[in-house]
Amino acid sequence: MEWRTVVVIVLIVSLCFFIVPIKVDFNKTVKDAELFANYIARYNKSYKNDSAKYVERFERFQKSLRHIEKLNSLRSSQESAYYGLTEFSDLSDDEFMEQALIPDLPLRGQKHTTASYYHQHSTDSVNRMKRMIPITDIPSKFDWRDKGVVGSVMNQENCGACWAFSTVGVVESMYAIKNGTLHSFSVQEMIDCMPGNFGCQGGDICSLLSWLLASKTRIISETDYPLTLQTDTYLHQFPNYVGINKKGEPEGFRLDATLSNVLALANTNRVCFSFVDAETELLTLLVTHGPVAAAVNAISWQNYLGGIIQYNCDGSFNSLNHAVQIVGYDTEARIPHYIIKNSWGPSFGNKGYIFIAVGKNLCGKTNERAGM
């Protein structure tokens, strides 16, 4: 008897023993089990030889399948977001939040709203916005990737340091815009050295950028301070650490200079902004200054494959749980949208990117911005 058939029988018998009060569709269960077997092989899941875990994950996998079917049934056009199996499809909502997101990000972000480096933009503050960022005619589509100033998509894996990945990615772009060369800066240095954060257990973009600006901390290359995806503390004793390259020579880039000279906001010490109800200003900022880091709500992205997200993505401040980079937009498209660089690896979404519709603050993308 084929092993997949045996697995299906075991699963159905297990459901009987657990006395699950549902009507079992045998044909659908068989199909789900076959999909699950292929899924395990594709993502090399560690529980493939653990029967108890296998059954548990299969149940969560089935819930994802039904949710995927529901989301895809709501698509309004070929350009709309579409969903399918991802490496996260065998996780519950709580597990996905714990593994890939930052559950307490709203609490971390709330403290910034009264800080000197935070600024609230809205439709009532256009005049102040004009003094800081000239409102000019902007193109209907713009993508910083076309300029060669956006680094490759990285994978945070089980390290909850999206805040560091998104911020360092923005700094890389800003440095490239000013100097014409794209360097890979050290995300791990930020994970290890940022005071008050918890490394792979979470942080936030406003804290990191304000610290970099205030402390004049230097950031060194990825080559000389490689990514480990673990929270280390051995550099905390060196608050003025500059960085030593392989030749034993000090090196590093002064982030205060990069931020002030490139971002053209040097006359303010503000690095964290809100653009709720002011997306025109955000689009202008993207064109005139460069990519920005953003706090978003990514709980609905668990099974995202591609297309433009238009629905099912709460944008309230209290729902923020992830940090990404906005690297461009396209208002010529049938569904005008932002181009979002994520940190879940190039195999997630559209080669590591996600598209979110312009307007309505979908996924909270205008709630918090840093990196300008």
Among 13, 40, 74, the domain-final residue is 74
Whether residue 80 lies inside any domain: the answer is no
Tokens 């949208």 sit at which residue? 337
In this structure, are 36 and 175 located in the same domain? no
Tens of pLDDT along 291-310? Answer: 999 989 999 999 999 999 99
Which of 124-128, 144-148, 274-278 holds the top average pLDDT?
144-148
Are residues 26 and 136 located together in one domain of the fold? no
Read off the DSSP letter of residue 142. Answer: E
| Burial 108-128, CB ≥16 within 10 A → b, else e | bbeebeeeebbbebeeeeeee
pLDDT over 90 percentage in the chain: 48
Average pLDDT over residues 14-34: 63
Distance CA 154, CA 162 (A): 10
- Residue 242: inside a domain, yes or no? yes
Mark whether 97 and 49 lie in a shared domain: no
Residues 288 and 232 in one domain: yes
In a domain, 86, yes or no: no
Structural domain boundaries enclosing 11: 3-74
Q: How confident is the model at residue 102, as a pLDDT? A: 84
CA-CA-CA-CA torsion for 44, 47, 48, 53, nearest 10 degrees?
A: -140
Q: What is the DSSP string of 104-116?
A: THHHHHHGGGGST
Whether residue 162 lies in the annotated active site:
yes
pLDDT per position as a tens digit, 231-241: 875 454 344 44
Q: Are residues 320 and 238 in the same domain?
A: yes
**Which stretches within 124-225 are classed as H helix?**
126-132, 162-179, 187-193, 205-215
The answer to the question of residue 212 being in a domain is yes
Percent of the residues in the chain that have a pLDDT greater than 70, as a whole number: 71
The model's pTM: 0.80
Q: What is the distance, to the nearest Å, from the Cα of residue 341 to the centroid of all Cα atoms in its chain?
A: 7
Q: Give the phi and the psi of residue 254 in degrees, each rounded to 5.
A: -75, 110
Residues 40 and 98 occupy one common structural domain: no
Phi, psi dihedral angles at 74 (to 5 degrees): -95, 0
- Residue 105, C-beta contacts closer than 8 angstroms, at least 6 positions apart: 202, 204, 295, 320, 321, 322, 323
**How far apart are the C-alpha atoms of 100 and 344, rounded to whole Å?**
8
Cα separations in angstroms, 235 against 162, 165, 171, 194, 203 = 20, 19, 21, 10, 17
306 and 220 inside one domain: yes
Catalytic residue (one of 112, 119, 121, 322): 322
Is 85 among the domain residues? no
H or E stretch covering 280:
helix 279-289
The rounded distance, in Å, linking the Cα atoms of 317 and 294 is 12
Question: Higher confidence at residue 85 or residue 272?
Answer: 85
Catalytic annotation, pick one of 342, 361, 363, 367:
342
Distance (Å, rounded) from C-alpha 150 to C-alpha 153?
A: 9
Place of tokens 């269960």: 29
d(CA 232, CA 193): 8
Mean pLDDT of the chain: 78
- The rounded distance, in Å, linking the Cα atoms of 372 and 231 is 27
Residue 41 CB coordination number (10 Å) = 10
Beta-bridge partner residues of 353: 341, 350
Residue 8, phi then psi, degrees to nearest 5: -60, -45
Answer yes or no: 342 catalytic: yes
Number of domain units in the chain: 2
Per-residue confidence at 274, pLDDT binned at 50, 70, 90?
confident
Tell me the CATH number at 301.
Answer: 3.90.70.10
Active site residue 112: no
Q: Residue 165 — very low, low, confident or very high, per pLDDT cuts 50/70/90?
A: very high
Matching residue, tokens 């309004």? 76
Residues 104 and 63 in one domain: no
> Domain check: are 38 and 111 in the same one?
no
- pLDDT, tens only, 128-163: 444 444 445 899 999 999 999 999 999 999 999 999
Where in 206-275 does DSSP place strands (E)?
218-219, 253-254, 272-274
- Residue 276 sits in the same domain as residue 180: yes
Element at 293 (helix H, strand E): strand 292-296
Is residue 238 domain-shared with residue 277, that is, in the same domain? yes
Task: Report yes or no on 99 lying in a domain.
Answer: yes
| 287 part of a folded domain | yes
273 against 308, higher pLDDT: 308
Nearest Cα to 27, choosing from 6, 12, 15, 10?
A: 12
| Residues 369, 292: Cα–Cα separation, whole Å | 7
| Structural domain includes residue 41 | yes
From 112, 121, 159, 162, active-site residue: 162
Let me know whether 215 and 352 are in one domain: yes
* Contact (Cβ atoms closer than 8 angstroms) between residue 141 and residue 332: yes
Least trusted range by pLDDT, from 213-222, 245-254, 325-334: 245-254
